[in-house]
Chains A and B, each alone.
Chain A
Amino acid sequence: MTLTRLLTTAALALGLATGAVAQDKTRVGFIYVGPIGDGGWTYEHDKGRLAVEEHFGDAVETVYQESVPEGADAERAITQMALQGADLIFTTSFGFMEATLAVAEKFPNVKFEHATGYKTAPNVSTYSARFYEGRAVQGHIAGKMTKSNIVGYIASYPIPEVIRGINSAYIHARKVNPDVEFKIIWAYTWFDPAKEADAAQALIEQGADVILQHTDSTAPQAAAEKAGNVVTFGQASDMAEYAPFPRVSSIIDNWAPYYIARTQAVIDGTWETTETWDGIGPGMVGIGEITDAVPTEVKAEALALKEAMAAGEYHPFTGPLNRQDGSVWLAEGEVADDGTLLGMDFYVEGLTGQIPN
């Protein structure tokens, strides 16, 4: 009896103590769509989370949940994180948009940050990176490197973000190689290594000798390596383990500075709803090392393109550009506005096939 009471008191005291400590700390939560070991998208978000921990030390506590499916279960996962006392929650996939807004309405005191979305609320900000700038560099290299003039593209879901990437890559590939053709597979998944490998295999069998991917795992890299003569690019993460060949370059997402800045804003009480969309210039999009498998002059051109975009001298969507149906989208010298880009639901002229609805 005494022992039980003693233990209860001890447990209670411990609970109070930890409760008290937790109150001082700012809790930052992360909802991931894949496992943190995917080597791509989620892996980079988790690197950002670790950077927050390192930067703030004991002042901040981070929590995360990985492999949360896009759909009804996402709302439950986000709600649970809010109930656990998170002050700031990053939901890191496009498909979490509605769930984030729904939960945000119920927890007005919690701040939410949704990646790659376009809907905001008083306590919901959005943030994304201008990955299409990186796609321009990839498209340039792809156009130069392909011998079969067939570039394979493993797309995930038909959302503006993915369509922008396809358009940007195609425009810049065609610029240096007018005969280039894109073969696009919609995998309808962000992460399914076996399916991604099969998709890469199908593209290779269709004659593609360059493969771009907008899915999160390194499986297409492995498939390309097995084929032997196929060029790939790292997606979301450097995927340097497949360098120098087949992976000849990569787009690297760098979320750490943004995550640190937003956490700081919550601590300072200065957090406001924002719509952040940064590119190569501010460092949110990085271009991984271009390996020696790429000819020197192509590498130099690619780097010049990167510098021009970083300096703001060149926009990847600069006219003259037509839509797929041949109608004029951008006149000579005209630059696409962010609104059109954020809602992009059309292919540019030259691409074949239709975008699924």
Chain B
Amino acid sequence: MGTINPELLLAAVIVAATPILLAALGELVVERAGVLNLGVEGMMITGAICGFAVAVNSGSPALGFVAAAAGGAVLALLFALLTQVALANQVASGLALTLFGLGLSSLLGQGYQGIKPPPTPRLDLGPLSDIPFLGRVMFSHDLMVYLALGLVAAVWAMLKYTRAGLILRAVGENHDAAHALGYKVVRVRVLAILFGGACAGLGGAYISLVRVPQWTEGMTSGAGWIALALVVFASWKAGRVLLGAWLFGGVTVLQLNLQAAGFAIPVEFLSMSPYLITILVLVIMARDKSCAPASLGRIFHASQ
């Protein structure tokens, strides 16, 4: 029976959590603005192939991530046009976006199978990386991991302390009142949707450029849906999204390690544990009755 090295395990957890963390954070902002975008999976996979293709052709993973964000945002723009301008149903448009994204990505991905992307370098944090234990766990990752963590803090602070955050929340809670106060409901929502798309694209590219690293059709295989669920279970709070992503990524990686190490826990329980534990912890935390943005999923038109 082997033993599990906690250093390597925790380092792997942070990598495994980053894609869903990015996607969930984007969706959180979208939903706080009162829009339900079920197209996260589609935007992730589009970001995955856009990022992969650009990184391979340019040789620069950084450019790849920029392209991934752009790709995700462009797809999200389509959703914004449908739901904010044409006033289409958000659930149907979101589902359509996922299907469209999956199809588009396999079209774009023709010819990219079996190619290796340029490696994403680890960020050199100098002496920090040499700290025993903590150095390996926290300070030996690539830039995207820190960007994702920074984004959590930024979104949290933006929503809680800034005027922009207040307007975004107002639009999400009661779009008629926000409109009456003179805020541009549609503009705020379109910007939020674009941000959500860019984040999902980054999350997708993190899978294709760092976590796996290769391009395979349908490679996000459900990560977008996990991210969507995470936002709900995290009660639309940035800090809890981070906790949920780490929990989910953590238990996923841990259960694989437990299996590999030969611990005598039935595999069936191990396999369901990531979902079970994440939901359980977040539901218990959500007892404070925080609820969904009141205008979530409702269509806004200035005439109504």
Which residues in A have some Cβ–Cβ distance to B below 8 Å? 34-39, 67, 152, 158, 183-189, 191-195, 197-199, 201-203, 205-208, 217-219, 222-223, 225-226, 239, 241-242, 352-354, 356-357
Contacts and interface: CB of A to CB of B under 8 A. Distances in A.
A203 B258 CA distance: 10
A356 B268 contact: yes
B174 interface: no
Interface in B245-287: 252-253, 256-257, 259-262, 264, 266-268, 271
Contacts of B262: 183, 352-353
A158 B212 CA distance: 25
Contact of B2 (A192, A194, A206, A357): A206
Interface in B1-40: 2, 4-5, 8-9, 12, 16, 19
Nearest to A219: B212
Nearest to A220: B212
A171 to B, nearest CB: 20
Contacts of A356: 266-268
Contacts of B214: 193, 218-219, 222
Given A183-B261, A185-B256, A357-B268, 14 more contacts: A37-B113, A37-B216, A158-B267, A193-B221, A194-B220, A195-B252, A197-B211, A198-B16, A198-B253, A202-B256, A206-B261, A241-B114, A352-B262, A353-B264
A353 B2 CA distance: 13
A287 to B, nearest CB: 20
Nearest to B20: A194
Given A37-B217, A39-B216, A217-B219, A183 B211 contact: no
A225 B256 contact: no
Nearest to B221: A192
A152 B260 contact: yes
Nearest to B2: A206
Contacts of B216: 35, 37-39, 193, 217-219
B213 interface: yes
B207 interface: yes
28 contacts: A37-B106, A37-B218, A38-B216, A38-B217, A39-B216, A183-B261, A185-B260, A186-B259, A186-B267, A192-B222, A193-B214, A193-B216, A194-B219, A197-B211, A198-B256, A199-B260, A201-B12, A202-B257, A203-B260, A205-B9, A206-B257, A219-B214, A219-B219, A222-B213, A241-B113, A242-B114, A352-B262, A356-B267
A304 to B, nearest CB: 30
A194 B271 contact: no
Given A202-B256, A205-B8, A356-B268, A35 B217 contact: yes
Given A194-B207, A206-B2, A219-B212, A34 B218 contact: yes
A183 B118 CA distance: 31
Contacts of A36: 217
**8 pairs of A and B residues whose beta carbons are closest in the complex:** A241-B114, A37-B217, A35-B217, A356-B267, A202-B256, A193-B219, A206-B260, A35-B218
Given A37-B216, A222-B213, A225-B116, A194 B223 contact: yes
Contacts of B256: 185, 187, 195, 198-199, 202
A78 B27 CA distance: 35
Interface string B199-233: 00000000100011110111111110000000000
Contacts of B259: 184-186, 202
Contacts of B135: none
Contacts, number: 120
A161 to B, nearest CB: 17
A254 B261 CA distance: 35
Nearest to B3: A206
A249 B259 CA distance: 26
Interface of B: 2, 4-5, 8-9, 12, 16, 19, 106, 109, 113-116, 207, 211-214, 216-223, 252-253, 256-257, 259-262, 264, 266-268, 271
Contact of B19 (A194, A222, A225): A194
B212 A188 contact: no
B5 A205 contact: yes
A188 B271 contact: yes
Q: Which of B211, B213, B259, B261 has the most CB of A within 10 A?
A: B259
A191 B221 contact: yes
A37 B262 CA distance: 33
B253 A202 contact: yes
B255 to A, nearest CB: 9
Contacts of A203: 260
A208 B218 CA distance: 28
Q: Which of A34, A201, A239, A352 has the most CB of B within 10 A?
A: A201
A105 B223 CA distance: 36
A201 B222 CA distance: 20
A239 B268 CA distance: 30
Contacts of A199: 256, 260
A95 B267 CA distance: 19
A5 B218 CA distance: 44
Contacts of A217: 216, 219
Contact of A218 (B5, B9, B114, B252): B114
A218 B214 CA distance: 8
A187 B219 CA distance: 15
B257 A194 contact: no
Nearest to A67: B218
Nearest to B119: A226
A203 B4 CA distance: 10
Contacts of B213: 222, 226
A298 B259 CA distance: 30
A253 to B, nearest CB: 17
A39 B211 contact: no
A198 B252 contact: yes
Nearest to B208: A193
Contacts of A183: 2, 260-262
B181 to A, nearest CB: 44
Contact of A194 (B9, B116, B212, B261): B212
A158 B252 CA distance: 19
